[in-house]
Amino acid sequence: MDPIALLRRAGLPAHDAVPLSGGDTSDAWRCGDVVVKTRARRIPGLFPAEADGLRRLAAHGVPVPTVHHADDDGLVIAYVPPGPADPEALGRTIAAMHAVRGHHHGLDATVFLGPIPLPGGTGPAWRDVFWTTRLEPLVRRTAAALGPRARRIEALAARVPLPQEGPRLLHGDLWSGNVVHGIHGPVLVDPSCWWGERAVDLAMMDLFGGFGGRCRAAYAEALPVPDAVAASVPFHQLLYLLVHVALFGDSYLSGVDGVLRRYR
């Protein structure tokens, strides 16, 4: 959808649209004081789910852009003026988010990782929720690429130790590209927000280059990570590795194999 048309739909004044570098899910433009996100191929529910996640994070004090409008055609959020990187502040911000506790694991709504929808569902047992609403749908989606790995993942999911600290507020897609270092500190964007064990976010923080030692040290100082939680992080990385297999192909199978070897 044309970004100017979405501005009008949001009741905001028209403004020149300047393309921004974005991810693989949507196109983004800066239009004055706002950012407009759209995509050529419409995915029902995608942008409303992102807006819901931003609002959920904001309601618990997590720094995120203000949502101005969301529908199936796009999303309009506040523009965050860039500032200096502050990895220690980022670590403390993530720790404060993870300090927020929920009443159950999961979410009674579809969430998206990139363009991939993952089903809603809640429950008290983390192993069951993580398998039925996250891993199992992705194993089915990538079964042809996984081959015999699919059965090994299923067996691993039934036996690997999964410590249960209790549901925490998760960003859900916490890689460096989803952090904006603003003039007032780090701001989290593009969430796949739900309630779960914080090992999910810690898993993504360690993938694809990670956030660096200064961020992780500040996080651990604010919210120490028990050894058992740290030991479960590679298993939780399967969530993101399977998404990448689904979106980008077999080159990410080596990461899956690395996790399977780790838990032999």
Q: Do domains 3-78 and 87-262 have the same CATH topology?
A: no
Of the candidate CATH numbers 3.40.50.1110, 1.20.1070.10, 3.40.50.150, 3.90.1200.10, the domain formed by 87-262 belongs to 3.90.1200.10
Active site residues: 173
Q: Which amino acid is at 103?
A: H
pLDDT category, 23, cuts 50, 70, 90? Answer: low
- Give 3 or 1, the one with higher predicted confidence: 3
Q: pLDDT tens-digit profile of 208-222?
A: 888 999 999 999 999
State yes or no: pLDDT of 14 exceeds 90: no
DSSP string, 176-233: GGGEEEETTEEEE-S---EEE-THHHHHHHHSTT-S-HHHHHHHHHHS---HHHHHHH
Q: pLDDT tens-digit profile of 46-59?
A: 999 999 999 999 99
Q: pLDDT tens-digit profile of 191-241?
A: 999 999 999 999 999 998 889 999 999 999 999 999 999 999 999 999 999
Domain ranges of the chain: 3-78, 87-262
pLDDT of the residue at 179: 96
CATH number of the 3-78 domain = 3.30.200.20
What does the pLDDT average to over 125-133?
A: 98
pLDDT of the residue at 264: 80
State yes or no: pLDDT of 22 exceeds 70: no
Record the tokens describing residue 161, joined without a space. Answer: 């130790």
What does the pLDDT average to over 40-46?
A: 94
**DSSP state at residue 175:** S
